[in-house]
Chains A and B, each alone.
Chain A
Amino acid sequence: MNEEQILSNLRRIIIEAKAETAVILPEQVQMSTELLAPPLAMDSIDFVATIIGIERVFGVIAEDEDFLTGSMRTVGDVVGVVKRILGVSP
């Protein structure tokens, strides 16, 4: 799975995770999109939903240390973590 495919899957995961509180369009989820700032403005519950989505879609078991909120600023950072878990070369 390449970076583009990971981003595409992650886009769907984040849109689904945010669905309860916001309507996010696919074009609003880009590598440079900030996680905590609008339009995503993700809270801890959005992060949990996203991590569970990542586990489900990519078939991995996430470790809390992988997804420490303080260490991830953008969607691209999350893509980087997924690549590392999947063993995709940078």
Chain B
Amino acid sequence: MRLLFFPWTHGVGFGYVGRELAIAAQLCKVGHECIFASDTREHIVERCGFRVIPSHGVHGVAVPDMGGRRGEYITLDNLDTVYGIARYYHAERVREHVRADLEVIDAVRPDAVFVDMQPTAAIAARFRRIPVLSVADSDFLRDEDNAWMPWMSREEACILPYPSCLGAFGEVLRELSLPPIAHVSDLLWGALTLLASTPDLERGQPPIRERGPLEYIGPIYWDPPWVDVSSQLRSHGRAGALRIFVTLGHGGKVGNAIYDAVLGGCDRREWAVFVSLGFRPPEDSIVYPSNCMAGGFTGLSAPLDWADVVISHGGYSTVLAALMQGKPSIVIPFMSEQEANGILFTEQNEAGFVLRRMFRSTEPGRRFQYRLRYSGTSTDGSFGATEVSHAVEEISTDPRFTAGAQAASKRLREFAADRSVPALIERALRRRNSP
């Protein structure tokens, strides 16, 4: 089979690309051909040996530079708002992107189109009657207006003023004589929708309204095959030291002050720190304490295997990977979805906690404020090294957190043991093609 992958290219995380790379690698192993419609700035997809057919520039590069948005907390309440960032509330924009995606589809002639939150490729594939395969976080598929900020009411969560994209998608679907949608998330359901989670992890949340074949596949994340930090990590830190893995995303979103506070807070002789900097530009100067070793884009598996404790930004893949490996996490979110991941997955499993929580402010002139776990309310969300030191002390001395993470790991590993993504995909496409 030939599969064409469209990762989401308007987001701030590597997870969308990484997850498709992980699935594509599994499919290649069993003889399928995988082609991508976009690559990262660093050409990670091409470096993995996959052919890339850029979608005529309309999706730009996957994992864009954050530019002026660095350091700010991003409030996304639901998928419709996320699509607003891509300006899909303009039918003209949707039309332009569908047209470009159709050109790529026509050039590749795939047996199936694989999307990770990419709606226009899903529309284009439907128009050509090519099966859509979809991989998603659970919140991509939820209807609730506050699905990405579930700790707030829908009224409180509505902060970014983007218009709804439903009308523009509906207009283009009508023009293409495709069935209408009731919610933008309907676009992400296809011949098979893969949910990178488990029913156990989703407990306590509203049920997902099913709109097609859905399979839970457990956490899925990607490690660059050309990077191996295992041997360096084996000799890092004195015997008996608490090993802390710091990973704050791919590096484009977090300002230096945060790195200084986090690494400064971990600066103790009896602790050893490994920080993964992602694609952070080399010109960025970060002060590394003597107990800290830094790596670039290292992937998650080796550092998680080494670590006793994780400090992360709360990205979906990172949070679930930490649970899968049974490591307790301190989550410092930089956007609402990350905060939700920390609450719903880390805290609910008693596998750690969220260090900084956002809430709607009642103070005049402020939209929201933050509550720090140890030092109280912060108007701008900044925190110092002491806040981080307290967090590491708490998570490393309270055995509940490690026990919670290990229990979650056992459940996740059992769940993942009998799941083969290529087999699920092959079965779904056979089912679709059978008379």
Binds B, one of A4-12, A42-50, A75-83: A42-50
* CB within 8 Å: A-B pair count: 38
Is B297 in contact with chain A by the CB < 8 A criterion?
no
**CB <8 Å contact, B160 and A61:** no
**CB <8 Å contact, B68 and A70:** yes
Mark out the residues of chain B between 83 and 112 whose CB falls within 8 Å of any chain A CB in the assembled complex: 87, 90, 92-93
Minimum CB–CB distance for A63 against chain B, Å: 8
**CB <8 Å contact, A62 and B159:** no
Q: Mark A15-33, 1 if CB is under 8 A from B, else 0.
A: 0000011100000000000
Q: Which residue of A lies closest to B361 (CB)?
A: A21
Minimum CB–CB distance for B306 against chain A, Å: 36
Is B162 in contact with chain A by the CB < 8 A criterion?
yes
Q: Tell which of A20, A22, A52, A61 touches B163, judged by Cβ atoms closer than 8 Å.
A: A52
Which residues of chain A come closer than 8 Å to B67, judged between CB atoms? 64, 68-70
Minimum CB–CB distance for A44 against chain B, Å: 5
Contact A62-B68, Cβ < 8 Å, known A21-B367, A48-B162, A49-B161: no
Which residues of chain B come closer than 8 Å to A69, judged between CB atoms? 67-69
Mark out the residues of chain B between 115 and 167 whose CB falls within 8 Å of any chain A CB in the assembled complex: 159-163
Minimum CB–CB distance for B207 against chain A, Å: 32
Which residues of chain B come closer than 8 Å to A62, judged between CB atoms? 87
A45–B365 alpha-carbon span in the complex (Å): 13
Q: Which residue of B lies closest to A49 (CB)?
A: B161
Q: Which residue of A lies closest to B93 (CB)?
A: A61
A68–B64 alpha-carbon span in the complex (Å): 13
**CB <8 Å contact, A48 and B160:** yes
Contact A61-B68, Cβ < 8 Å, known A21-B367, A45-B159, A49-B161: no
**CB <8 Å contact, B69 and A61:** no
Is B72 in contact with chain A by the CB < 8 A criterion?
yes
Minimum CB–CB distance for B12 against chain A, Å: 12
Chain B, interface size: which category? 10 to 19
Is B366 in contact with chain A by the CB < 8 A criterion?
yes
A58–B159 alpha-carbon span in the complex (Å): 23
Which residues of chain A come closer than 8 Å to B75, judged between CB atoms? 45
**CB <8 Å contact, B161 and A21:** no
A55–B74 alpha-carbon span in the complex (Å): 21
Minimum CB–CB distance for B186 against chain A, Å: 24
Query: Which among B68, B74, B162, B365 has the greatest number of chain A C-beta atoms within 10 A?
Result: B68
Which residues of chain A come closer than 8 Å to B69, judged between CB atoms? 44, 69
A70–B17 alpha-carbon span in the complex (Å): 27
**CB <8 Å contact, A44 and B161:** no
Q: Which residue of A lies closest to B64 (CB)?
A: A64
A82–B10 alpha-carbon span in the complex (Å): 23
**CB <8 Å contact, B68 and A52:** no
A44–B68 alpha-carbon span in the complex (Å): 9
Minimum CB–CB distance for B175 against chain A, Å: 18
Contact A61-B87, Cβ < 8 Å, known A44-B72, A48-B162, A52-B161: yes
**CB <8 Å contact, B161 and A45:** yes
Minimum CB–CB distance for B83 against chain A, Å: 14
A21–B366 alpha-carbon span in the complex (Å): 6
A64–B347 alpha-carbon span in the complex (Å): 35
Which residues of chain B come closer than 8 Å to A52, judged between CB atoms? 161-163
Which residues of chain A come closer than 8 Å to B68, judged between CB atoms? 44, 68-70
A70–B71 alpha-carbon span in the complex (Å): 13
A70–B65 alpha-carbon span in the complex (Å): 13
Q: Tell which of B74, B92, B159 touches A61, judged by Cβ atoms closer than 8 Å.
A: B92
Which residues of chain A come closer than 8 Å to B160, judged between CB atoms? 45, 48
Q: Tell which of A20, A55, A70 touches B367, judged by Cβ atoms closer than 8 Å.
A: A20
A52–B159 alpha-carbon span in the complex (Å): 14
Residues in chain B within 8 A of chain A (CB atoms): 67-69, 72, 74-75, 87, 90, 92-93, 159-163, 364-367
15 A-B interface contacts by CB (under 8 A): A43-B72, A43-B367, A44-B68, A44-B72, A45-B161, A45-B367, A48-B161, A49-B161, A52-B162, A55-B90, A61-B92, A61-B93, A62-B87, A69-B67, A69-B69
Q: Can you list the 7 inter-chain pairs with the closest CB atoms, starting with the nearest?
A: A69-B68, A70-B68, A49-B161, A21-B365, A44-B72, A61-B90, A68-B67
